[in-house]
């Protein structure tokens, strides 16, 4: 869990990256940026807002031979050990990013290399290195007063409401390649940022396993529970699965199956499905792990708990109290109409 509210910008280095394929240049600043309270506040919001709005998918810096050969890792490690090295190391980071911009689709832009402090990660205060790239420019009007005339000038600049690319490298797990968060609003060149520049791999932590196991359960519900039973049981299975994750701190698969699987005959089907599909979610050999509450909350928001009927009627089942859907909703078959029906019991209608 990350808290960026009290994060502070300690130092900013700024360089300009061209497109190497188009023979555009590389401009490296010789000194750090001078900042005041206003600029620090604006830049903090510009840099960190995207990380407050996205799911926490952590990575680690990696290299096929050894992480010590990863250029970003080497620079980050040097800066964490000696903060005064930011300016010189930021040049190496900028040059490394420039070297990866050989594809004609890569946009030029400015790269900010930033030292950050006072970030709370997993309830501990940590330092971080931020690398942010602006690519998309927007036109805006400036106005200049002259004698008898207010003159307008069309200029071009960065929209501080939208960061194009960025990463936060936290000074934790250094032997494993640090803990990294990344954002990229321009998906057309995803390999350029994540793979070619950062060189990251997914960090298999509790957030990763919680999210992937619940995704696996969603597909099991769709591929196995729905055909074997019906839409109501598919929704109820996911209700029970999410609630099991929500009320436990640790996941244990046998306990999960005994509590969540309403039809015991589907337990062997679940295990077989895990052998076949588990590798897709990197959970084939995973049967226990700590549960990440945020991943459970994020999954709950995305799972559909609605039964859509071909008569243009929808039935929404409660995710918080799945036992209500089991006790008060019955499915049946009407011989006269030759149609299925749902029978819903209630005491009174509520306003919401």
- As a whole number of angstroms, the distance between CA 143 and CA 140 comes to 10
Which has the closest alpha carbon to 26: 92, 116, 104, 117?
Answer: 92
Residue 51 buriedness (CB in 10 A; 0-12 / 13-18 / 19+): buried
- As a whole number of angstroms, the distance between CA 254 and CA 141 comes to 63
- Please give the angle made by the CA atoms of 2, 77 and 123, to the nearest 5 degrees: 20
Q: Model-level pTM? A: 0.78
Other CB atoms closer than 10 Å to residue 150's CB: what's the count?
8
Which whole number is the average pLDDT over 313-320?
70
Which whole number is the average pLDDT over 281-309?
85
Which range is least confidently modeled, 85-99, 207-221, 322-336? Answer: 322-336
Higher pLDDT pick, 190 / 299: 299
List pLDDT tens digits, range 155-202: 888 888 889 999 999 999 999 999 999 998 876 676 899 999 999 999
Provide the β-strand partners of residue 70.
none
Which whole number is the average pLDDT over 269-280?
94
């Amino acid at each position: 869990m990350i808290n960026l509210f009290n994060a502070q910008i300690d130092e900013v280095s700024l360089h300009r990256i061209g497109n190497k394929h188009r023979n555009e240049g590389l401009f490296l600043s010789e000194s750090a940026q001078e900042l005041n309270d206003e600029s620090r506040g604006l830049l903090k919001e510009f840099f960190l807002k995207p990380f407050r709005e996205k799911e926490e998918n952590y990575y680690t810096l990696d290299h096929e031979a050894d992480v010590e050969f990863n250029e970003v890792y080497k620079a980050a490690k040097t800066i964490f050990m000696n903060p005064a090295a930011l300016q010189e190391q930021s040049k190496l980071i900028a040059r490394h990013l420039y070297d990866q911009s050989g594809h004609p689709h890569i946009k030029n832009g400015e790269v900010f290399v930033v030292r950050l402090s006072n970030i709370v990660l997993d309830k501990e205060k940590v330092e971080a290195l931020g690398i942010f790239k602006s690519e998309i420019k927007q036109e805006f009007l400036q106005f200049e007063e002259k004698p008898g005339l207010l003159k307008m000038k069309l200029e071009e600049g960065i929209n501080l409401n939208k960061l194009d690319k960025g990463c936060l490298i936290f000074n934790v797990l250094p032997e494993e390649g640090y803990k990294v968060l990344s954002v990229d609003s321009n998906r057309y060149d995803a390999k350029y940022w994540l793979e070619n520049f950062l060189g990251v791999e997914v960090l298999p932590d509790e957030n990763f396993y919680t999210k992937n196991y619940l995704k696996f359960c969603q597909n099991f519900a769709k591929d196995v529970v729905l055909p074997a039973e019906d839409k109501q049981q598919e929704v109820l299975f996911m209700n029970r699965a999410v609630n099991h994750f929500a009320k436990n701190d640790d996941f244990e698969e046998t306990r999960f199956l005994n509590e969540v699987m309403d039809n015991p005959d589907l337990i062997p089907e679940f295990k077989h499905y895990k052998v076949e599909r588990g590798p897709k979610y990197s959970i084939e050999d995973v049967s226990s792990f700590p549960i990440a509450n945020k991943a459970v909350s994020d999954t709950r928001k995305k799972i559909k708990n609605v039964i859509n009927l071909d008569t243009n009627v929808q039935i929404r089942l409660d995710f918080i109290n799945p036992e209500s859907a089991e006790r008060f909703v019955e499915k049946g078959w009407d011989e006269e109409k030759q149609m299925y029906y749902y029978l819903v019991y209630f005491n009174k209608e509520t306003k919401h």
